[in-house]
Amino acid sequence: MLQKRREDARALRKVRETSTASPLDFARSALECDASSHRFLRARAAQVEDRPDNLKRDSSGKYVKWPPRHDQRRELHSRRLKARLLIFIATATALSGGIDCAASAGVSSADSSVLGFKQWGLLAIQDGGRRKPIDTFAKETLIRITGRSTYTDKNGRKWQPNDFVLSALLETHDWKNEPMVLVSFGKLKEQLGLDETQRRFSFAQLAGSGELQRIANEAQALKRAEKPLDRVQQEALGVSDRLTLLARLMDGNTLLIIPAPKNETGPWVEPSGWSKYYSAAQFAPVQTQLQTVATAYVNGDGFNFSRAANQLRDNLRGVSPSIYPQERQLRLEYFYNHFEAFYRAIWCYGIALVILVTAHLRKRSRALQNIGVAVALVGLAFHASGIVMRCMIAGRPPVTNMYESIIWVSFAVSFFGMIFFARYRAPVYLLAALPVTLIALLLVHQMPIAMPSSIDPLVPVLRDNFWLTVHVLTITLSYAAFALAMGFGHILLWRYARNPAAARADAPMHFWLYRVLQLGVLLLAAGTILGGVWANYSWGRFWGWDPKETWALIALLCYILALHGRLAGWWTQFGLAVASVVCFLAVLMAWYGVNFVLGKGLHSYGFGIGGETYVATFIVLDLLFVAFAIWRYCTSKSAVAPVSEIEGERVAV
């Protein structure tokens, strides 16, 4: 039985590495092992005490059986729970192909939610092309499967990421029948015959769906042929990937915590593959601590769990000190995960906005305004600290995916607003900047699947920190300036809608908007030219009418036309306010539309799906608001000639 188990595990790994079948096939295979898994567990529980690997050196240096039979009975209160622990030990000693894939709802264990998972979360793991704490891996895994950073099961228990990962590895919970796999697209649910009011379904329910397998196989075939996929096929591939991830987590194949001995780029292995790099004597301390961690977890022993996890980290670093991440790197990323700087910034920005709006309505409330500015500065500090920590972890500027670019652009919007406020002493800059920043941060954190927050390695074309910093940061800073101008334009249009005559007479407001637009045009022009230089360096041509390049040029021309038209007298100050809002739609297309709607071109490293409903709703509501402001402006009977022209404003300044 044991030999057959080994052969099956090796065969499954070989098939997974070489097969071109859908990942859903492997998820489905996990359901087929239930019948034999319990027989295997019973056999393993009976055999493991007589195996040579189940030994430990005593104080005299001799090998003795460990732990003694009576100790095992005292630590594990049932034979089935003992079997679960042996699965983990077997993983560490290469006696099986990974943690058994059968789920058992009846396994009894202590309440693990009371444990402290910091020491366990500080263990390093290789995942997604980089070395990271298990805490990061657990959070990203749970988000990818469920779309949330925590999960509440059918019984009402709330699972934290680290608790979920350990429970899936040791199978202390029936995860296969837990409705946790996200399926959000309505048409896919309709095609699969699922309840359209439900967003999450069980592994067993989805892996047993022949229709899902068919759609996923078709999508993979089209993808290999480099043909476009429709939205249903894209979503089916996403669901298939979630099922595969959950299946690999439950069978232990994702637990790559054993470091390569010398090569930094060498693959890490799961505990069952330790013999690829190390001798039995080298791995013995790691094996012991793995056993202790598993025992303490299932018994709810917080002290021994934390101590064993800390010792396990030291032992793993000891077998490969030059490859294992330094303690400060692991602790920095763990702190970044739990400090949640961007959520703190959201709260500060929201409070500051309420205070500043109150101060604006009350007039002459300088003390209240100062408090609002101070709170906004605290939010800006939290925001900056999150970006700095992310840069230190990744070793690069945070602008390589949509999540990072939104985080950076939203910071720059508030930063520009604070700079202009300090220059002109006009709180309207903050009133324009804070809502934009707040909405951007809230939106990006509401779409963790479409815009994942994971820190991924750079694709080859981006592996040049000089050009990445010069070109991408310049382009995204221009987006921030235009976003600030868009917020400013909304304030002006609201004033035109309420009282057109008073809005026309407010020359400083129009001048401040003009200044922000000038900054944006300068940055976007420089960024576009620098992008051409980088394209010539990377792809061998300065300009190729790639969709990203084309829409960046369209956005630049739109804003140049808006500024030139105002100087030439083609439209009034009101026209400039309208242009500041409408032209931002071109920026939105260049920034979001090319990546998430068109999905074509050489800038494929930024592509994704999702969020179309939010963006489309914003565009429709925004255009309706602009149309209402234009109608109010045109029908107003109190129109008067503008007090000053933009040329006069330039002379005054």
pLDDT at 88 over 50: no
Of 388, 363, 378, 471, the C-alpha closest to 418 is 378
Mean pLDDT for the stretch of residues 152-158: 91
Give the C-alpha separation, 201 to 119, whole Å.
32
pLDDT at 566 over 80: yes
pLDDT at 48 over 70: no
Q: What is the DSSP string of 300-359?
A: T-HHHHHHHHHHHHHHHHHH-TTTSPPHHHHHHHHHHHHH-HHHHHHHHHHHHHHHHHHH
Model confidence band, residue 291 (pLDDT cutoffs 50, 70, 90)? very high
Model confidence band, residue 179 (pLDDT cutoffs 50, 70, 90)? very high
Answer whether 532's CB lies under 8 Å from 543's CB.
yes
Orientation of helix 231-250 relative to helix 134-146, angle to 10°: 140
Please give the mean pLDDT across all residues of the chain.
80
pTM for this model (two decimals): 0.78
Q: What is the DSSP string of 390-412?
A: HHHHHTS-S-SSHHHHHHHHHHH
pLDDT at 625 over 90: yes
Of 499, 593, 609, 518, the C-alpha closest to 563 is 518
Q: Report which of residues 55 and 94 the model is more confident about.
A: 55
137-141, 538-542, 640-644: which has the minimum mean pLDDT?
640-644
Q: pLDDT tens, 207-235?
A: 988 899 999 999 999 888 878 888 898 89
pLDDT at 366: 85
pLDDT at 150: 93
pLDDT at 646 over 90: no
pLDDT at 370 over 90: yes
Q: pLDDT tens, 391-444?
A: 999 888 887 788 998 999 999 999 999 998 998 888 888 999 999 999 999 988
Give the C-alpha separation, 57 to 64, whole Å.
6
Q: pLDDT tens, 522-564?
A: 999 998 888 888 777 777 777 778 888 888 899 999 999 999 9
80-89, 407-416, 585-594: which has the minimum mean pLDDT?
80-89
pLDDT at 582 over 60: yes
